[in-house]
Chain A
Amino acid sequence: MTFRRRHRYAAFRVLSSTRIGDKDVREVIQRSILELFGVYGLSTIEPKVLEYDEKQGGGIIRCNNLHLPLLRASLASITTIDDKPVSFFVLKVSGTLKALRREST
């Protein structure tokens, strides 16, 4: 018997007055999860930014399907990047990347 890992894919948007780089987005998400849930939380949530478009300020993040609320809480807790105000919004969530892309277009 095998245990297949299930994921949730979330389309998110970053609201900011300036352009936010890919590296900053990945770092701030990881830092927020670590701050709220620690290393154990990070290991269970398994976040991974699959894509991020700097121009649009949006991207797709993947996480463990059981811990989506924790990922959402972590994103909602982000208020600044380099002392500039930002906010993250989860716009759509899906069980597959294909469905998420289809719904987002």
Chain B
Amino acid sequence: MRRFADLHLRFPKKGLNELEEMLRLSSNLEYSTVAVAFEQNMKEEVQQAHAICSDLGVDLVTRVDLEPDTAGELLRLLTRLRLRFEIIAVKCSTRSVARQAAKDRRVDLLDFPTDPAQRERLYFDRHEAVLASGALSTLEINASTISGGRAPHKARLLATMRREVMEARRLRVPFILSSGAENLYGLRTPRDLASLLTLMNVDWDSALGAVSSEPLRIVERNRQKLREDYVSPGVRVVGGDQR
């Protein structure tokens, strides 16, 4: 049976109670893995969210969204936060940040502006795709970006996103689709999410992969890297009793 993952639930404004409702609904909607974007200083909230998820039988993944103004700031944040969060997403607000994020192997997800005019200037273009194909970064598309807004706004965004997905597929850069929900109403079933990718000319199997196998692969890879016995890809320290 296919397992589904939503790697982007924003921490709700109303706090943990609303987050609990969101996690409960996610569990009912058949998600096995859910990532919540926490603020950098939310240690207690992370612990409480873990407790909620273990009751619900959902695998919680900790995520942080970085929004640096410069490439240097991004590097500093990555050094500080990489070992604290399982997923690191970078909101690319300038071209230099986008380029640095695409080539840095510590970055998992690349997010681009949600405003259509900004996105037409700064999007996942061919150069970005070339850099990402040599690293581990993945293009993330948030359903909340597509579903809100007026029709002309949506049309412009869809046109840009279609180009982005085309570039990603051409250079075999993985892409995932997340809800980007900040309350209950932003959540969708995995297959409903996947259907939004058909608007970007993605076939149904690949669309389902973008809400199941691709996000799960990122989580698995990062968890391996965060283990104490990890050395490099394919190499880990084996203890005496495991030999």
B186 touches A76 (CB 8 A): no
Q: Which of B190-222 contact A (CB under 8 A)?
A: 191-196, 198-199, 204, 207
B146 in the interface, Cβ–Cβ < 8 Å?
A: yes
Residues of chain A having any CB pair with chain B under 8 Å: 15, 35-36, 69-70, 72-73, 75-79, 85-91
Q: How far is the CB of B178 from chain A (nearest CB, A)?
A: 13
B196 touches A91 (CB 8 A): no
For A35, A36, A69, A75, the residue with the greatest tally of chain B CB atoms inside 10 Å of its CB is: A69
Given A76-B147, A79-B185: A69 and B29 interface contact (C-beta under 8 Å): no
Minimal Cβ-Cβ distance residue in A for B185: A85
For B29, B147, B151, the residue with the greatest tally of chain A CB atoms inside 10 Å of its CB is: B147
* Contact string against A for B residues 132-153, beta-carbon threshold 8 Å, 1 for contact and 0 otherwise: 0000000000010011100100
A70 touches B198 (CB 8 A): yes
Q: B147: which A residues are within 8 A, CB to CB?
A: 76-79
Q: A85: which B residues are within 8 A, CB to CB?
A: 183, 185
B24 in the interface, Cβ–Cβ < 8 Å?
A: no
A73 touches B195 (CB 8 A): yes
Q: How far is the CB of A47 from chain B (nearest CB, A)?
A: 14
Task: State in angstroms the CA–CA spacing of A89 and B192 once bound together.
Answer: 7
A76 touches B184 (CB 8 A): no
Residues of chain B having any CB pair with chain A under 8 Å: 25, 29, 143, 146-148, 151, 154, 183-189, 191-196, 198-199, 204, 207
Q: A35: which B residues are within 8 A, CB to CB?
A: 151, 154
Additional pairs, 18, CB under 8 Å, beyond known A69-B194, A87-B184, A90-B189: A15-B25, A15-B184, A69-B207, A70-B198, A73-B196, A73-B198, A75-B192, A76-B147, A76-B195, A76-B196, A77-B146, A77-B147, A79-B185, A85-B185, A86-B185, A87-B188, A89-B188, A89-B192
Q: A91: which B residues are within 8 A, CB to CB?
A: 189
Given A87-B184, A87-B185: A79 and B192 interface contact (C-beta under 8 Å): no
Task: State in angstroms the CA–CA spacing of A91 and B189 once bound together.
Answer: 8
Minimal Cβ-Cβ distance residue in A for B207: A69
Task: State in angstroms the CA–CA spacing of A85 and B191 once bound together.
Answer: 21
Task: State in angstroms the CA–CA spacing of A86 and B184 once bound together.
Answer: 9
A73 touches B185 (CB 8 A): no
B191 touches A15 (CB 8 A): no
B189 touches A69 (CB 8 A): no
Q: B25: which A residues are within 8 A, CB to CB?
A: 15
B198 touches A76 (CB 8 A): no
Task: State in angstroms the CA–CA spacing of A65 and B193 once bound together.
Answer: 19
Q: How far is the CB of B199 from chain A (nearest CB, A)?
A: 6
B192 touches A76 (CB 8 A): yes
Minimal Cβ-Cβ distance residue in B for A36: B199
Given A35-B151, A77-B147, A79-B148: A69 and B184 interface contact (C-beta under 8 Å): no
